[in-house]
Amino acid sequence: MRVHGEAEVRPTEDAERVRKAVTNILRGEVEVRQIDEWSGQVMFDGKDQSSLERFRMILQRDRIRAAARSVLRRSVEGNRIVFFLNKQAAYAGHVSFSAPEGESPLGPIQVILETENPEQLIDWLAGKPEERKRE
Q: For the segment 102-123, what is each residue's pLDDT rounded down to a tens digit?
A: 778 889 999 999 999 999 999 9
For 5-14, 73-82, 113-122, which range has the lowest pLDDT when averaged over its residues? 5-14
List Cβ neighbours of 122 (8 Å cut-off, separation of 6 or more).
69, 72, 73, 76, 81
Torsion sign over Cα 46, 63, 67, 21? negative
Looking at residue 39, its pLDDT comes to 77
* pLDDT over 90, % of the chain: 67
List Cβ neighbours of 71 (8 Å cut-off, separation of 6 or more).
83, 97
pTM above 0.85, yes or no: yes
Residue 55 and residue 68 in contact, taking contact as beta carbons nearer than 8 Å:
no
Strand-pair category, 80-86 with 29-34 = unpaired
Q: Homologous superfamily of 2-133 in CATH? A: Ribosomal protein L5 (3.30.1440.10)
Distance of CA 73 to the CA centre of its chain: 14
